[in-house]
Amino acid sequence: MSDHNKHIKITDLDWKYGESTILDNINIEVERGQFYSIIGPNGSGKTTLLKNILKHLEPKKNTIFIDSLDINSLSSKDMAKRMACVPQNTMVDYEFSVLDIVMMGRTPHLKRFETESEKDLNICKEAMEMTDTWRFKDKLIQNLSGGERQRVIVARAIAQQADILLLDEPISHLDIHHQIELLDTVSYLNKKNGITVIVVLHDLNLAAQYSDYIFLLSEGKIFSSGTPKSVINEQSVKEVYKTNVCIIPNPITGNPHVIPISSEERRDFYEAL
């Protein structure tokens, strides 16, 4: 079986909301233990793709496979054991303590009436120390800042001990320190524990810096995929994002670094007004 290393495989995935096509014939193979980014303009279908993989939407039979199993044949619990998710919106309006929230990550591993054991507590503690959230374990989740809350949700995903981690724009509300900290944590999990990571990102430079492979989505199709160097270039960015950019090699990693160029046409347009 050459498919053994294929952690996630998507074949001919289409998705429509009513009449409008959001995803159009997506074919993707994700290898075990690699770091993937999904990039693309707003409305290109990144989140919809992620939701299909998570089975939050209902993909057709035999389109998405995890460990060579059709996700439609897996129960939510089985899915949760294989795949953890950090959603875009992490607001919680109820007075759970931070530790309570992280403990929820243990749900798929517990039997119906089983209560969390010391072992579960230790797993959560480790996850929380990794994300620097253990020090406010007794605080209420609703009293945390956006960045702190994000890290708590990442800790919950780590405590879930799945070997696929999906993150939907996890850093869009964070300052640069917390952005790097979060991506470093995820990258560490990827390298050390061999967890497969798929992250939706808006920042092309961070995507290029952290990913082994990148999927570039445009209008519901995979525009191109491959290593950062092969996906991110001046032509592809211009075509997909309708933006002129200058790309230089990142002096530290050698990966492409994108510098957007202000549009002259638009400047002329505004001056003509």
Partner 1 sequence: MSFFEKRHYFKTVFLMGLIVLFGIIIYASTIGVADINFFSSLKIIAERLPVIKNYIPSEEIINSHRIIVWNIRLPRILLAGTVGMGLAIVGVTFQSMFKNPMADPYVLGVSSGAALGATISMVLGLSFINVFAFCGALLTVWLVYLISRVGNKVHNITLLLAGIAMSSMMSSIISVLMIFNRDKIEMIVFWIMGSVSAASWKQVATLLPVTFLGSLLIIYFSRELNLFLVGDESARSLGVETDKVKKILLIISSVIIAFTVAVSGIIGFVGLIIPHGVRILVGPDHRVLTPFSALGGALFLIICDTLARTVIPPTEIPVGAVTAIFGSPYFIYLLYKSKKKVFG
Comparison of 129 and 175: residue with beta carbon closer to partner 1: 129
162 and 80 Cβ atoms separated by less than 8 Å: yes
Contact call for residues 14 and 34 (beta carbons, < 8 A): no
Q: How many residues bind partner 1 (CB under 8 A)?
A: 40
56 binds partner 1 (CB under 8 A): yes
CB 203 within 8 A of CB 216: no
61 vs 77, which CB is nearer to partner 1?
A: 77
The answer to whether 173 contacts partner 1 (rule: CB under 8 A) is no
Pairing relationship of beta strands 221-226 and 213-218 according to DSSP bridges:
antiparallel
Residue from 1, 2, 42, 138 in contact with partner 1 (CB under 8 A): 138
Interface residue with partner 1, options 80, 183, 199, 214 (CB under 8 A): 80
Quick check: 83 binds partner 1 (CB under 8 A)? yes
Among positions 86-105, residues that touch partner 1 (CB under 8 A) are 87, 89, 92-101, 103-105
Nearer to partner 1, 94 or 270 (CB): 94
Site track 29-48 with partner 1 (rule: CB under 8 A), x = hit: --------------------
CB 260 within 8 A of CB 248: no
CB closer to partner 1, 162 vs 222: 162
DSSP lists the bridge partners of residue 214 as 37, 226
Smallest separation, CB 221 to partner 1 (Å): 25
Task: Find the binder of partner 1 among 61, 77, 119, 135 (CB under 8 A).
Answer: 77
The nearest distance, CB 249 to partner 1, in angstroms, is: 37
Binding window for partner 1 (CB under 8 A); candidates: 29-37, 137-145, 170-178, 189-197: 137-145
List residues binding partner 1 (CB under 8 A). 51, 54-56, 75-77, 79-81, 83-85, 87, 89, 92-101, 103-105, 107-108, 110, 112, 115-116, 121, 137-138, 140, 143, 160
